[in-house]
Amino acid sequence: MNRRNFIRTGFQAFAGLTIGGIAGLLFSRSSSEEMVWQLDPNLCVQCEKCSVNCVLPNSAVKCVHSYSMCGYCDLCSGYLQPGAKARDTGAESQLCPSGAIKRTFIEDPYFQYTIDEDLCIGCGKCVKGCDSFGNGSLYLQVRHDRCLNCNQCSIARLCPSRAWKRVPASQPYILRGDESKRYLES
Amino acid sequence: MRQRTRLLKIIFVFFLLVVPSLDLSQVRERFPKPDFQTDYVRPNLITPATRSPILEYMDIFVLVAVLFLVTYSAHKQRSRRQIFLLMVFSLVYFGFYRKGCVCSVGAIQNVSYALFTSAYAIPFTVIAFFVLPLIFTLFYGRTFCAAVCPLGAIQDAVVLKPTKVPAWLANVLGVIPYIYLGLVLLFAATGAGFIICQYDPFIGFFRFGASFGMVIFGLSMLLLGTVVARPYCRFLCPYGVLLSWMSRLSKWHVKITPTECNNCRLCEESCPFGAIKKPSETVHLENRQAEIKRLAVLFVLLPVVLIGTGWIGSRLNIPLSRQHFTVSLAEEILLENSGKRTEMTDATTAFRAAGKPTEELFEEARIIQDKFKVGGWIVGGFIGLIIWIKLINAFIRRKQPEYYIDTGMCLSCARCFSYCPYEQVRLGIITPEEADKLGTRKVKIKQFRA
């Protein structure tokens, strides 16, 4: 073995040990679980950026509804425009720009509001309405059947209130109300 | 007495159970929940699951399998066609199916982030994607680049008429990946963000959607890629830096010829990446004294270069740290407090609504700026060292009797093999005698299409 080969073997061993060392250090801090992105509804300020900053043409962020918290109001501040002339399903009365909220009569005086996720663009206008004047049962969440789970979420990067974080894939939602309790227990 | 302890216990358990569930931010019952008279049942909130963990492990399996196959194709089969087919598979699987996101190039950032942020638990798959290609490269050369990396594959697919980049230009441009790597590590370690993902030119193609600027960047990269083969891999890719280090040390790197080289010059122009080097002339010894002097000057210059570039790096801490959310927020708050800006942004509104003291924010921002200062010294010094090593390399001449592969640059794409007459012998196309005869060729070689 000449001198050059000896140095080469030395460097090889050094490189191998460095990779091994870094890998070992990383393993000691790793989790076998994948991490996914989610936004904390309690930090969300409904800036509407979720609807445009997602890499998907139709954002993976959608409005979700904790029915256990909902007041089933006739005058729903998440559904109706402020100062809407009528409490009806007319487009001019609705707050949602894409008409993604379905209003169904249940019994006097209660109405159920359901989100059509295929129509929802995740702008959070209804969330703002419900948060400001209602019970806060409407809020935004990443829907993991849609999310691509980018390494660096482009919505998270531009979120003005730092509401986004990486959460374990086994519990990928941050819910509100009884839904949250049921979800965490399951 | 026992009764009392039990009571205390009950109270304690009660508090333990009840207090955490009274999350104040969630209690906002302005309207009472209705008591339905009809038999209406509240619908459930559906929570679609994430991608199955089994599929995550399948990604690792596919990575290892393709790495093995590419290595086998390059080393044993020596087949460009096989490597090309594997490359198409990788482009489809890691690119269009996985949308480019579980990616060895981007994994550098997760690694850097995890090493400096104890709160971040780096997923097992990401470690695998970071480590496995490096280990393979340490043994077999950059077979990962040849056909596993989707970013490389999309560029390789558009290599139409590669031209030679002049050696000096390639050397100068070759510093960019080191600068990029330094910045990537710095930004990830300080938590300022993952810039590889942010400025990935090709991911928009995999997802069929990107911002206008990135589409233009990606398209121009592909256009450039038709004449300058794989521009991202050679002059930008930060993971390529690590891979080229490993590849230089690789135990069994591919060779152009399966047996021997007779300097026939047929492979000279076959490499679109400029990784095939000509045999160097015998070293002239008459200038030895002058050359030793030059080397001595370079060695004396080393500390000056390191301190100089390190200093520049540390002085860049203010503009660089603006990439960090906390720092940019602190600057905005400062502007607003001083009355220089009257309109509040979404971020400052959210910050003020949260009611955190501004002093706390400023302190955090200062800590991050200090981190950027230290990091700037390290990254600057590192870049200085790289430039210095490149200078040294320009002055050291080793005697090379045959055509050889620059193992740091070679991507093991197997393009050059078929140009070698002894490879043609191995394939049974020509006889050994014919191959030997080619060794005396003195004619000018035309440019071969890659």
* Residue numbers of A between 149 and 168 with CB closer than 8 Å to B: 149-152, 154, 157, 160-162, 166
Question: Residues of A with CB below 8 A from B355's CB?
Answer: none
For every residue of A152-174, DSSP letters joined together read S-HHHHH-TT--EEEEETTS---
pLDDT score recorded for residue B23:
47
Among B23-37, B337-351, B424-438, the least confident range:
B23-37
Comparing alpha-carbon positions, the chain A residue that sits nearest to B133 is A19
pLDDT score recorded for residue A184:
86
Residue A83 C-alpha, separation from nearest chain B C-alpha, in angstroms: 19
pLDDT score recorded for residue A76:
92
A175 or B290, higher pLDDT: A175
Residue B20: pLDDT band (50, 70, 90) is very low
Inter-chain CB proximity A34 and B51 less than 8 Å: yes
DSSP reduced 3-state for B51: coil
* Residue numbers of A between 106 and 135 with CB closer than 8 Å to B: 106-107, 110, 112, 114, 131, 133-135
Cβ(B180)–Cβ(B446) below 8 Å: no
Encode burial over B265-295: b for 16+ CB neighbours within 10 A, e otherwise.
Answer: bbbbbbbbbbbbbeeeeeeeeeeeeeeeeee
Question: Residues of B with CB below 8 A from A179's CB?
Answer: 44-45
pLDDT score recorded for residue B2:
56
Question: Residues of A with CB below 8 A from B193's CB?
Answer: 152, 157
Cβ(B305)–Cβ(B388) below 8 Å: yes
User: Which residue, among A14, A26, A46, A102, would best test binding to B if mutated, counting the most B CBs under 10 Å from its CB?
Assistant: A26
Matching residue, tokens 């002239």: B284
pLDDT score recorded for residue A144:
95
Average pLDDT over residues B202-212: 88
Inter-chain CB proximity A160 and B347 less than 8 Å: yes
pLDDT score recorded for residue B83:
95
pLDDT score recorded for residue B7:
57
Inter-chain CB proximity B135 and A19 less than 8 Å: yes
Which among A67, A112, A135 is the nearest to B29, CB-wise? A135
Average pLDDT over residues A104-121: 93
* B321-339 pLDDT tens trace: 999 999 999 999 999 999 8
CA distances from B60 to A98, B29, B159, B305 (A): 40, 48, 28, 42
DSSP reduced 3-state for B426: helix
CB-side exposure of A24: number of CA atoms within 13 Å? 6
Residue B267: pLDDT band (50, 70, 90) is confident
Residue B261: pLDDT band (50, 70, 90) is confident
Domain regions of chain A by residue span? 36-185
Among B58-62, B252-256, B261-265, B303-307, the least confident range:
B261-265
pLDDT exceeds 70 at position B259: yes
Inter-chain CB proximity A152 and B193 less than 8 Å: yes
* B380-434 pLDDT tens trace: 999 999 999 998 887 776 777 778 889 999 999 999 999 999 999 999 888 888 8
Average pLDDT over residues A76-91: 88
Residue A112: pLDDT band (50, 70, 90) is very high
